[in-house]
Amino acid sequence: MNRLILLAPLSSAHKTRVLARLCEDLTGMNAVFPGTRLRLRHAVAPVR
């Protein structure tokens, strides 16, 4: 099971790309929420 951490886009496209890369790295660590079996997934929400 996964738990999605959805972050809002930042004020500029290049900052949002950096944030998205950080989300990929964090998700790649396969971290588990303490006390559960939930794997944490990180992502940036699409721009509306």
pTM for this prediction: 0.87
- The residues near 23 (Cβ < 8 Å, ≥ 6 apart) are 5, 7, 42, 43, 44
pLDDT in tens, 1-48: 999 999 999 999 999 999 999 999 999 999 999 999 999 999 999 987
Domain that holds residue 29: 2-44
Question: Which pLDDT score is estimated for 25?
Answer: 98
Question: Which pLDDT score is estimated for 48?
Answer: 79
The tally of domains found in the chain comes to 1
Both tokens assigned to 1: 């099971």
Both tokens assigned to 11: 């004020």
The 3-state DSSP class for residue 4 equals strand
